Structure 1
Amino acid sequence: MPKCKISASCKLSLKILLLARATEELEAEKAAREEEKVCYLGEKLPPLQLIGLNTDDLQKLCKQIHAKNEMVDEERYDCEAKVIKNNRDINEFILKVQDLGGKFKKPALRKELTLEMGDWRKNVEAMSGMKGRKKMFLMHDVRD
């Protein structure tokens, strides 16, 4: 199927139109969220009627507001504690999955080591650097 070739200027204009459309949608989404927030707060927090209240009524109102504030703070603290606990559990589960999944790579064995295997005494004599001096010491010990 042949591809449709679009000129660079057409591509640029389409890109500009898409960006303009995306910014419009973002702004509309922000406005909708702000409106929803105002409606929610209007339902949950009706405007205070402070006109005509005496001191006792104002004190009662302040105590009620303070009690609601404490309750909300307790709920927030509980939610934060749950989030921290859940994050800790998630990290532990991730570690367990990695352990069970065997993601740790096993090191490759070097072939050189397997070729050098054999009589270990020959390797010790060869590596000792004494070049036959060991035999001389052994013969010296036998004479004494």
Structure 2
Amino acid sequence: MATEKRLSSSRKHNLKSCMLGVAKELLDAEAVVKVEERERFLLENCPPLELPHSKEELLELCTKLHQQIDGREEEKYGIEFKLNLVVNEVRDLNIKIVDLRGKFKKPKLKKVRMSADAMLKALLGSKHTVNMDLRSNLKQVKKEVKEEDKQLRDVGDWRKNIEDKSDRKKMFDS
């Protein structure tokens, strides 16, 4: 690499300008060819219009033009139909390719710490105020305490039972 000669900046600039000049000439030549092709196509398919002087000849010309338009429209719809078939076939083949490759792997999602209020606000927009305090809408119910439940709670208190048993144990020890 060290033995290779480097181009000077003026030489590079000169080569770039030459390349751009050649490219411009090629583009101009291509544009001229396109214009010539278009003119040739129009001469072949659209002869110059000669308007007849009588009404019958004018009606014949109109019917002839309508028949030509109908033919072109049929060609257009045929080409569009073939195009749609090809597009659908390509889509089906792409689906088959994806199926052959295997199932999609779901990407790992990042955990986002967001309260339910903030999430609903983000989804519904800031105009909607959402309150997730569900307990505030609940009906208040007073709890009735039965006497049987009180007795069961008193008897079921395990601390008292332990204290009683510890007194009995002292009696047997002495």
Q: TM-score range by the shorter chain?
A: 0.5 to 0.7
Q: Deviations over 1:11-64 (max 9, x none)?
A: 12211211121111111101101101101211122212325x311001101110
- Give the SS at the match of 2:49: coil
Using the TM superposition, give the Cα deviation of residue 103 of structure 1 relative to its aligned residue in structure 2, in angstroms.
7.5
Aligned counterparts of 1:13 and 1:103: Cα–Cα separation in 2: 56
Aligned counterparts of 2:83 and 2:18: Cα–Cα separation in 1: 41
**Greater relative contact order (Cα 8 A, min sep 6): structure 1 or 2?**
2
- Residues 57-66 or 39-48, more deviating: 39-48
Identity %: 36
- Gapped runs of 5+ residues in structure 1? 108-139
**Alignment correspondent of 1:46:** 47
Q: Aligned runs of 1:1-144 on 2, under 5 Å?
A: 2-50=3-51, 53-102=53-102, 104=104
- Gapped runs of 5+ residues in structure 2? 108-157, 159-174
Aligned counterparts of 1:61 and 1:82: Cα–Cα separation in 2: 32
Aligned residues: 108
Q: Which amino acid counterpart does residue 72 of structure 2 have in structure 1?
A: V
Q: Which amino acid counterpart does residue 84 of structure 1 have in structure 2?
A: N
TM-score under structure 2 length normalisation:
0.55
Structure with greater Cα Rg: 2
Using the TM superposition, give the Cα deviation of residue 106 of structure 1 relative to its aligned residue in structure 2, in angstroms.
8.6
Distance 1:91 1:3, change over 3 A: farther
Using the TM superposition, give the Cα deviation of residue 102 of structure 1 relative to its aligned residue in structure 2, in angstroms.
3.3
- Give the SS at the match of 2:15: helix
Aligned counterparts of 1:3 and 1:33: Cα–Cα separation in 2: 43
Q: CA RMSD in A?
A: 2.4
Aligned counterparts of 2:104 and 2:41: Cα–Cα separation in 1: 51
TM-score under structure 1 length normalisation:
0.65
